Amino acid sequence: MLTRKQLELLELIDTCMKRDGVPPSFDEMKDALNLRSKSGIHRLITALEERGFIRRLAHRARAIEVIRMPDKAVGHDTTGSRSAPRVIEGGRAATATAAPRVQALELPVMGRIAAGTPIEAISEVSHMVAVPGSMLSGQGQHYALEVRGDSMIDAGINDGDIVVIREQTTADNGDIVVALVDGQEATLKRFRRMRGMIALEAANPAYETRILRDDQVQVQGRLVGLIRSY
């Protein structure tokens, strides 16, 4: 079963191959599917390849071959819902549909958090998401945020992921936190204290560590889990 975005991309590639003899470029795919970054296209192509709908040919530019199209008799997901999410907890990943039945709780998704250039502080609930109760260990309230940007990719946090945050105002060195900077911008970064200052470290060498005064940074929560959909 394909998600709507996967199906849209497959149909776009098939149409361009029949019309032009070559698949669309990644930029053309991104624009056609109204995605913000090419990383989303990479994930969709990987998913289509894993499911046996396309094949990427090595050592050739823009070399994608459509192997088959979905069987309409079997059906595919055109409702916009995503395929089964993978819940990543404590460094382990398990497909939700294959996992033992566990208690699920709904958390508010408080908009988007920047894993890249900081965005405005988050204050409104956009929707709800179900998470395993085992992820919500410890005291305190929890909420979820949708990640935007790629500054934490080396920590396994990708653009479009949902991060589960436990509300707290303190953090230990090495914690990944939601930090409010100057009371205006929220960002997801690794927290460290350095010589009386606070460092907000990215997990991507393309981004510089931000060194700020203690009074410029307010910790609003710590990362306790992550949910990824394909």
Q: Which residues does the annotation mark as catalytic?
A: 151, 189
Task: Name which of 125, 159, 161 is nearest 143 in CA terms.
Answer: 125
- CA dihedral 140→131→119→90, nearest 10 degrees, is 80
Q: How many CB atoms lie within 10 A of CB 225?
A: 22
Per the CB < 8 A criterion, the answer to whether 224 and 135 are in contact is yes
Q: How many CB atoms lie within 10 A of CB 35?
A: 18
Q: Which helix (H) or strand (E) holds 30?
A: helix 26-32
Which letter, b or e, does each residue of 173-190 get, where b requires 16 or more Cβ atoms within 10 Å of its Cβ? Answer: eebbbbbbbeeeebbbbb
Per the CB < 8 A criterion, the answer to whether 115 and 159 are in contact is yes
Per the CB < 8 A criterion, the answer to whether 149 and 117 are in contact is yes
Tell me how many helices (H) and strands (E) the chain has: 3, 14
Can you tell me the distance from the alpha carbon of 129 to that of 117, in angstroms, rounded to the nearest whole number? 25
